[in-house]
Amino acid sequence: MPTVLNAPNKMQTCIDACNGCMQACEECLSLCLQESDVKARTHCINMLRDCADICAMSAQYMARGSHHAKQLCSLCATICDACASDCAQFKDPHCQQCADACKACAAECRKMAQ
């Protein structure tokens, strides 16, 4: 994966986690829309959208060196935790993998927010 020019390792690790989580959320969302119990997943699908968006935005803020990146990473960690909890309720492999990616991203974002 390409790295951001002059980004400290901690920041690059978080950017990579955010990008990985965004991808996992987008893939999980697409697969959840195809499940037979899609109506039962409505809340989770909306959470996946929120999580993918905040992860993408957090990576962008870090990449540009925004002064607000730490604040956004804090919010990202909160949303990733909520998304992980929602995804973990469904036993599909894509939901479980997404929950894992969300947990990893939340942990990295908490480190960045400090």
Work out the mean pLDDT of the chain and round it to a whole number: 93
CB 54 within 8 A of CB 73: no
Report the predicted TM-score, pTM, of the whole model to 2 decimal places: 0.91
11-113 maps to CATH 1.20.1270.360? yes
Inter-helix orientation angle 42-63/93-113, to 10°? 40
The residues, any chain, with a CB within 8 Å of residue 43's CB and separated by 6 or more, are: 86
Q: Model confidence over 9-19: pLDDT tens digits?
A: 889 999 999 99
> Which two tokens mark 57?
């935005």
> Which two tokens mark 37?
């119990």
Q: Is the pLDDT of residue 77 over 70?
A: yes
CB 83 within 8 A of CB 47: yes
Q: Looking at residues 31-43, what average pLDDT do you find?
A: 95
